[in-house]
Structure 1
């Protein structure tokens, strides 16, 4: 008894995690490992043991384990919870680090020192003494400080007491439609009346039939049951719904205007003259608050001259508005209409009709209208209905249902022969098929997103008919006096005056309340699409690739002008023919043919300048491109210019052609590029001049009213399409350089050219500042020079008066211009236009700059 025996049972250590952790967390992980090992040993030994004692040299761990007031973050909270589950706080004691044998495993020892040391196997020396002589918990242990990083911040939560809604309000909000709410309230009011009748009947029977209590109860029950049978089957009437509506309105008004109703009933003035309903001069009619005013003597229904008053933000008001919206929406039923196209085989004229239905009667009516307006015909040829199967299934099935015999019999009365093309034989109608397909395609693209009534649709088709019948159908001779080609309208009206539009119309007319403007703008759209797709058909097709001459003075041509009014085919008389895109230069056997004489491309993109050349004799030994003559007589190759370093590529066989590719284009690359040829023969030198003019431009968005323009300093080659972005998101693609939108002052817009999405313009907006730095971070060598650049936009009503760069800025003081800071004087330079972009050039860089 009293003898202390110490033995080593199990030791365990773990490698420090790769993820960086604080020392308290590592110590806490070790404590967690200790309790888990202790639990495992108890289960394995299967011996009745006393409470274990755990030792740690971390005061933070002891504070965490003994804590009962603070809340920890997840990592510490989970491990403290495990320690508290597997042990008690009083089992944990403090051990000074110099007596801690666990350090032998975590810090490591030499083999000789480990073998000679007893601390790992026997533990600290004080374990052999009595428990009263063991180390005590330090007095300075205290509690966990509030700024400990593992302690969660205290959160103050405010609670708000919400007033409980009345059962009637809950009932009202249970229903989502005005009709369902009125029906529910009507049934409840009907039930209320029945219950009142039963109550009154019971009272009458009780007073007129005295007797014993038992006999009275049985007799009363029988009479009440008979009385219930008189009610019959109940149903709601219009009066019931009206009464329910008034009951709902009364309840809602009492919830919001109780004080106003009391004052009006007492005949007093409204308490708040500036209140929300005081200006309405309210009156009370049968318990309902209504609008008063000077219409009280008018011969009008009460609902019109004295409408009920409801708060705008109440649930009842929303239900009523939704109910009215549904009623109005049902009134806007879209109906389907069909277009009928007649083409004249002789005059190539076109006639358009509208059919209400795709049935036999509508087809006959359309034919009759056509014959009445255009006169009798001798023969009609149409497609077979099966031609539409597969592409327009619905149209094909409807055409199958047409009674062709009935239609043909009707036409026979007029002496009209009706013939059908064979199924799938569209080539039998090649004279008109192309024209019909073109019209259908353009009409579909123009009208598919527009909602027109019958009158507007008929007007639009008449306008389209006039456009198509004003198209040229003959070629024009070279006689200067013959300035007008023949059109179908010449043959129909026997006069030459075109049908001009009644004015100029814009996109905003699509949403105008005046439908005639909408129709006119839609007609303008058809005209623009029509001339783009019809004019190529007027050109002669060179089926056998015959060589045709180019334009020459004296020729008559059709002029395509988007700004010209519709139905006007402008004719032009060629006075002078200018050279095309190719430039051919020749002298003494030398020729240089540039593919293009001028090119306009985007800044940051790539371009290829190409040419073909011939020379008298010998072999070309040197062929290079240049922009300016050097200091001597020989020009300097672009490859020697440091501004083009790493941006040039030469292609071609160098025998008869040469291609120069320039990448990462800059605005400074704008110049005239020429080729220098040198052969192995004496005097074999030649410069292809004039050369190719290259213009490099950036994109800039300009705002004019509600129209945005993606502007460039030159006209981009190949007529590209544009992409528009709003607040950084794509809103329109494959469109022109113009874009119209309704935008707020905070909206920002930018544009890009299709194929170069990464080269979009700077974002612009009406009332915001945007600064875009070219690089977010730059690494440069000490003593070198670096350029820090940015671009910026600012509100359109502002003007930039001064720009400068700075490094430090205190919120209560203006920043200091770097040019006036002593450490930067003589080492900085401001570049750029200082209107939309700026560059800070730092020279002789020093560490700390």
Structure 2
């Protein structure tokens, strides 16, 4: 059985209705939009055409016609005459959808304007601005379902990202023309204020300088390629004030703590930062200050100190790391230095109590003694008699002290506390110096047990008459082996001439294994 199919055509004598049907329903008021949606759900908008009112049968009913006239009215019963003809003979439509504002929904647009003032104008401290922006970035990342640190305190990486963002925004605002040249791979124009600094853009989009120290191996990347900032921008102002504040105008002194609390530790650490500068990384062990039932309290104290320090100095990119519990050997040289200091310090100070000023002075003198020890030769030049010390990393040169006469006698019987303190310091430095040289002997023996001294080797000459901060250094000028071929005596060239010493009175400074003679 065949099924007849027919095509649907819809007609209206309102051009406004056609306009409504040919536009999205959301453009019209609620009443019209609902009816347009209802119609377009049943028919397609392109099926609708315009018919003149005199050819519209529905117009007869809407205008009102007597029943006698409808009986013989062909328009009412059969529609317009042209509807029964082929489609090609139907009236031409043309543009029957004129533009209309009737029943059009008013459009509402929401615009967020950027305030003209700089973001940093709201802040008087650089570190506070960094922290606010870092928390905003963390909030945005969480809104985007991105991974964020679970710690409530900011990490150094988040602070660094906020700092880069501030620099980036400042540079793009004040060096907009230069940025435009960089984006188009063009050279910076000759009228640019930063042309003399040979600027370039790094991987983070920051404009940096490329000067004469680019090829230096001893400088870090930020030192070889400093970030370029405008002279009078809020970021430069806050950054200068911040740097001026954290250096405490150039002076402070490291002090011990009077008790073991977070507040006192932070005060001591602030003094350390002022004296030595803020470190990038702090490492400490998990040693328990308390024992027994208070072990948890010790752990909480360490964690509280870590959070407080990183929270206060995170804007300077400080991080704090603990070595695993029960693994002091992972502390390496710094743990060995702490061990050697504590052992002698306890032996020297266990018999007497000291006030805060005396203890501060003693620790400062001991610190200078520890930081004056020679680590390795300054160079491979056989005529060079200088050794590298921790003091070179702290102040750029060897640490010096005033020459003091030796204080003799039993420290326990001294009434003058200042004389007692000087004697205690002298005893400590002599014992520590002697034990440090012994440690160098042992370490050298472990690394190369059969190694002889050679011409050009740098050594420390044992001399009990030198002050604690002085080390008599020299280079081997000639060697005198015994019958077994092992060196027994050496001539050493020092700053005061050549001296002869047995090998038991000299200590070889460690060098890299690759540079040892075969």
Q: Same fold (TM over 0.5)?
A: no
Normalising by structure 1, report the TM-score. 0.25
Compare CA radii of gyration and give the structure with the larger one. 1
* Structure with the larger RCO, 1 or 2 (CA within 8 Å, 6+ apart): 2
Structure whose residues are more often helix by fraction: 2
Structure whose residues are more often strand by fraction: 1
